[in-house]
A and B are shown apart, each in its own frame.
Chain A
């Protein structure tokens, strides 16, 4: 196996394109190194992107935030501006693993691992985040919800990797939240996850919302019909009831040792209602 550590994005793209064998991109390594140890993947090369300065930074852009693919959860958690604008995204990222995992794990890695139960992905989807993908044909921007195609599969083409995640401008009277259900309070994987992001007008009416569910389908899903139940309302009881019902209807989970179909379906609605209330409060509603 070869270890490659480019210091520029251009070099990284070139190395990945020219590598003759299987080359895996290493950011935090909290999924990749576990898979390698388990023999689930045996790459010929590893491309460590952490020596590319731009990928280690959180930068302000067009009123929003661009988060490099090598930025860890711990770094996000210490970034005041990011935490103020997108607390739901930061909280979701910080639910991944332990303090030690937080020191390494990244949004981009969580996205590319393409687990339906990834904690940060529903929060990014609700936030309207966009992944910037670098590859031999240049860069392209793809909405986060379009990146995972199936468990463990993404839309990335040969030679491409996620270079950064862009979180758009939050704007006034906006709020987001992510909640998950796990049997334990820490060190667990979501049985169901739900993220809500919404914006209110000066009268407290919801003008825009995005709702996303995790672990209830082969990929994290955006649920526009759930967002529609909130738009035009003050998030009163009938609206929250409709939201919960719509989220439960949108859930098509599997049954496994962590939860039954019935349980996951029910909990999708419960979490949506609770996450919406938190997002509403954060929006000043």
Chain B
């Protein structure tokens, strides 16, 4: 079984790797590139813990092959903060205590950022639907939703 050479961009940086044909993008990110922010929850696209963007689209990286990232742009949770400065969503998650165990948090942040890029002023209902593919077994979601709505309000004021 020969490995596949992939040239891609991750969080804006050019990256090359070799992967097995059946290796998922999630496994490449975590096991080869050391980008362990994306988590494996279910491995079947149900929980959203492995959420990344692929060419700007939200996807479950467990349902993408590493080989498919050839020529693409991948965005992960590691690209969210700018150096030491947290993204407003990250800051609000801390302020609202919108996490407990934290496994779902990277995926939710990536998904919420994607929502606010498309719709800076979502309703609570739109936010809940958008994040329906991100399961959290700790918080009961309320604090997550409040953090996203609050971050959205702050980001609108700042822009």
Contact = CB atoms under 8 A, between A and B. Distances in A.
B65 interface: yes
A15 B16 CA distance: 26
B21 A100 contact: no
Contact of A34 (B44, B111, B114, B134): B44
A252 interface: no
Contact of B60 (A36, A46, A100, A187): A100
Contacts of B133: 97-101, 187
Contacts of A46: 21-22, 65
B68 A33 contact: no
Given A33-B24, A72-B57, A187-B132, A104 B64 contact: yes
A257 interface: no
Given A1-B1, A97-B45, A29 B64 contact: yes
B63 interface: yes
Interface residues of A, number: 27
A216 B138 CA distance: 36
B24 A3 contact: no
A3 B57 CA distance: 22
Contacts of B35: none
Contacts of A186: 129, 132
Interface of B: 1, 4, 20-22, 24, 43-46, 48, 51, 54, 57-60, 62-65, 67-68, 70, 111, 114-115, 129-134
